[in-house]
A and B are shown apart, each in its own frame.
Chain A
Amino acid sequence: MGAKIAYYWNLYWHVLSMQLRSRMSFRLNFFVMLVGVFLREAATLALMVVLVQKFDGLAGWRTWEIAFLYSFVTLTFRNFSSFVGGIGTIPALVRTGEMDVYLLTPSDPLFLINCRNTMIWRSFYNIGIFAVTLYCAYQAGIAFTPGAVCCLAVLILCGMFILFAVYLIVYAAAIRVVEVSALLKILDGVYKQYMVYPIPIYGRVAAWIFTFLLPLGLASYYPSGVLLNRVSGLTMGWGTLAIAAAACLWVAAALLLWRASIRKYNSTGT
């Protein structure tokens, strides 16, 4: 087991260093990109603050609470795309038949696909987004006690893994239906544009869907609500535990589904 972990660890860093070198061949673009992405997120946050301030809050949430929810969602999504976003190439691999190559290697295909295409260099600007999240948390009135800091760290990780599970389920579906770009567009759009607001504003049915069926709320509204004490009936500690348990369940389900789909994989035959 130890040897296996060491093997994957070395492989991960080896592939990563290759990827970083390839990125650095367009050095100017690389650095402008880092600034650009941070600017984009900051601009969206600023717009949201302007909007919510104009309307004196949203559904009982104050401006900085909404700003915290927004920055939490952004941070979770950015962490997801930095560390496990490499799996996003699965539909393209299925479509082109390149998936065969990954399935024939002795290493775990999911791991290889992820680290071959992962964008860990993006974590440079995650640092900036993390700083903004902390600032928004402070402004929203979250006390930085050791317990709250632990809960925040766990909830960010849980959010990342819930997104991993949801996206992996869609990618597993790609093995059967090949084209899932519209479905991914829905996921991206709903998470990045609409989960940045408290989900009860979308109505009971939508809130139920985003909690149990498509658990994007577990990576946005609930963790932020738990930290801000805005979810009735859930304290910070119990809320964190419940979200962590849900994250484990979703990840396990997604991995099972992925394995089942891989067994049914048919190459494009080209």
Chain B
Amino acid sequence: MKQLWDYLKVSCKIELENQLIFRSNFFVSILFVIIRVVMLLALWSALYQGKTQVEGISLATMKCYTIVSIVFELFIACKVENSITEKVKDGSISMMLTRPASYPVTLFIEHLAGTFQAVVVWVVPYLLVIFLCGFAKGAQLYLGPWFWLSAAGAYLLMFFYQFFFGMIAFWTQEINGFLQARDAVMLVFSGSMVPLWFFPGRLFSIAQYLPFQAMYSTPLSIMIGKIAGADIRTALLVQAGWILGFGFLAQFCWRKSRRRMIVNGG
């Protein structure tokens, strides 16, 4: 356990140093944060012009949803599938298998380190901009334990989900095409870009049967109060179901793919 903890500390340090090595680049990143927030707010203000509420959501709440969805996207962002593909392509996956720690555990630690870097470099400046400039003023937000639970669930689900897709690389070596196709579906049905309640009836129903809503829409809807009361428990149970499902699937594919592994030149 201590070794894993040490590995996590070293990974966090490396991730942070990699990000901060070019300082000017880091400050331009902060500028991007401000530009993105300002432009999104302008967009929603233009859309809400002459309207106080749409689908029961006020402009202030919608602005908050949009900004928090960006922060959330940064928080649960995962590079696991790329990391697996690169290692499969260059053969370094064989080295990972000879390590004393299991590869999925190592990957999860690296994922945690990536999140630590994202929180320090991106999430904190974002939140500072949001609160210092008063962008969240007037929004009714719920930031209680259910929200944090669903956020943690979304984080875990994203890891298992990406780990599962990363396994495809053992069969095809290159998975960019699959990722593009998958991201297209995810973009629509996750609710990260356009909240699901703005969808027409049938599309909304389809979204309920897919795992993507459990990644973004569930925690964000709990936060702005669109999911409340007994519905929170149902939403969390559905999310837990997806986590377990993808957890088992990822484990199963990992076992299968290890037997398929071919290392170039090895």
Give me the interface of A with B, judged by CB distance under 8 Å.
Answer: 26, 28-37, 39-40, 42-44, 46-47, 50-52, 54-55, 58-59, 177-183, 185-186, 189-190, 193-194, 197, 201-203, 206
B210 in contact (CB, < 8 A): no
Once A and B bind, how many residue pairs between them come within 8 Å at the CB atom?
Answer: 117
With contacts A26-B173, A30-B177, A177-B24 taken as known, whether A47 is within 8 angstroms of B43 at the C-beta atoms is: no
Cβ-defined contact, A47 with B181, below 8 A: no
* Cα separation A59 to B47 with both chains bound (whole Å): 7
Number of B interface residues in the complex (CB < 8 A): 45
Q: Tell me if A189 and B181 are in contact (CB < 8 A).
A: no
| 27 A/B residue pairs, CB under 8 Å, sorted by A | A31-B177, A32-B180, A33-B180, A34-B177, A36-B181, A36-B182, A39-B180, A40-B181, A43-B184, A43-B187, A43-B188, A50-B194, A55-B51, A55-B54, A58-B47, A59-B46, A179-B22, A179-B25, A180-B25, A182-B28, A183-B28, A186-B31, A193-B39, A194-B39, A197-B46, A201-B46, A206-B42
Residues of A within 8 A of B38 (CB): 202
The residue from A30, A44, A52, A181 contacting B25, defined by CB atoms under 8 A apart: A181
Tell me, in angstroms, the Cα distance from A194 to B70 when the chains sit together: 14
Residue numbers in A under 8 Å from B119 (CB-CB): none
Nearest CB of B to A237, in Å: 29
Q: In the complex, what residues of B have CB within 8 A of residue A50's CB? A: 194, 198-200, 203
Residue of B nearest to A200 (CB): B46
Question: Which A residues are CB-close (under 8 A) to B194?
Answer: 47, 50-51
Instruction: Please name all residues of chain A whose beta carbon is closer than 8 Å to the beta carbon of B29 when the two chains form the complex.
Output: 182, 185
Query: Given the interface contacts A32-B181, A33-B180, A55-B47, does A201 sit within 8 Å of B25 by beta carbon?
Result: no
Given A44-B187, A59-B49, A202-B39, A54 contacting B198 (CB threshold 8 A)? yes
- B43 & A194 in contact (Cβ 8 Å cutoff): yes
